[in-house]
Chain A
Amino acid sequence: MVKTIIMPRLDIDMEKGAVIEWRKKEGEEVDEGEVVAVIMSEKVTYEVESPAKGRLARILVEPELEVPIGTPIAILAEEGDRPEEVEEAVRKAEEALRTLRAPEVPEVRRPEAPRPTVPVPEAPKKVRITPVARKLAEQYGLDITKIRGTGPGGRITKADVLKALEALRARLTYREVRLTGIRRLTAEKMAKAWEAPHASLTVQVDMTKAVELKAEVEAEEGFKLPYDAIFIKAVALALKRHPELNATFEEGTIRVHEAVNVCFAVDTSQGLITPVIRDADKKSLAQIGREVRELAEKARLGKLTMEEVRGGTFTITNLGVLGIDQFTPIVNHPQVAILAFGTVADRPVVEEGRLTVKKTAWLTVSFDHRAVDGGPAARFLMTVKELLEDPEPLRGS
Chain B
Amino acid sequence: MPPWRLITSSWPDPDFNLAFEWGLLEAVKSGKAPTTVRLWVNAPCVVIDRSGRSSVEVRLEACRELGLPVLRRPTAGGAVYHDEGNLNWTVVARREDIWPVRWPSELESLASGALIDLLASLGLRGQLRPREGIFVGGLKVSGMAFYVGRQALMVHGTLLVCSDLRALRTVLRCKFEVTNISDLLGYKLDPWSLAPDLAIRLARAFGAGLVKGTPSDHELDLAEALRPRMRQAEGK
User: Chain A interface (Cβ within 8 Å of chain B)?
Assistant: 10-13, 18, 20, 33, 35, 40-47, 49, 64, 109, 111-115, 118-121, 141-143, 168, 172, 175, 180-185, 188, 268, 270-271, 273, 301-304, 306, 309
Q: Is B197 interfacial (CB 8 A cutoff)?
A: no
Given A10-B148, A183-B207, 18 additional A-B pairs, CB 8 A = A10-B104, A20-B50, A35-B150, A43-B146, A45-B50, A111-B236, A113-B56, A119-B78, A120-B175, A143-B129, A180-B204, A182-B207, A184-B110, A185-B110, A270-B99, A302-B95, A302-B96, A304-B100
User: Are A271 and B105 CB-contacts (below 8 A) given A113-B56, A141-B137, A168-B127?
Assistant: no
Contact B56 A114 (CB under 8 A): yes
Known contacts: A42-B76, A45-B75, A172-B125. The answer to whether A185 contacts B56 by CB under 8 A is no
B98 to chain A, nearest CB (A): 9
Q: When chains A and B are docked, how far (Å) is the Cα of A273 from the Cα of B103?
A: 13
Which B residues contact A (CB, under 8 angstroms)?
Answer: 49-57, 60, 74-78, 95-96, 99-106, 109-110, 113, 116-117, 125, 127, 129-131, 135-138, 144-150, 173-175, 204-208, 235-236
- With contact pairs A45-B146, A182-B101 given, residues A121 and B175 touching in the complex (Cβ less than 8 Å): yes
Q: Which residues of A contact B235 (CB under 8 A)?
A: 111
Q: Are A18 and B54 in contact (CB under 8 A)?
A: no
Subset of 10 A-B contacts with CB under 8 Å: A13-B130, A18-B51, A40-B49, A41-B76, A44-B75, A46-B148, A141-B125, A180-B207, A181-B208, A306-B103
* A109 and B131 within 8 A (CB): no
Instruction: Evaluate contact between B148 and A45: CB separation under 8 angstroms.
Output: yes
The residue in chain B whose Cβ has the minimal distance to the Cβ of A309 is B102
Are B50 and A184 within 8 A (Cβ)?
A: no
A35 surroundings in chain B (CB, below 8 A): 149-150
Report Cα–Cα, A274/B147, bound state, in Å.
23
Q: Does the CB pair B100–A268 fall under 8 Å?
A: yes
- Do residues A20 and B150 form an inter-chain contact, with CB atoms below 8 A? no
Selected contact of A181 from candidates B104, B173, B206, CB within 8 Å: B206
Task: Give the docked Cα–Cα distance between A122 and B208 (Å).
Answer: 40
Chain A residues, Cβ within 8 Å of B175: 119-121
**CA gap between A302 and B94 in the complex, in Å:** 11
Chain A residues, Cβ within 8 Å of B78: 119
Q: Is the CB of B51 within 8 A of A42?
A: no
| Nearest-CB residue, chain A, relative to B51 | A20
**Bound Cα distance from A132 to B211, whole angstroms:** 52
- Contacting pair B95 A42 (CB below 8 A): no
Q: B205 to chain A: which residues have CB within 8 Å?
A: 180-181, 184
Q: Is the CB of B56 within 8 A of A118?
A: yes
How far in angstroms is the closest Cβ of chain A from B179? 11
When chains A and B are docked, how far (Å) is the Cα of A273 from the Cα of B106? 14
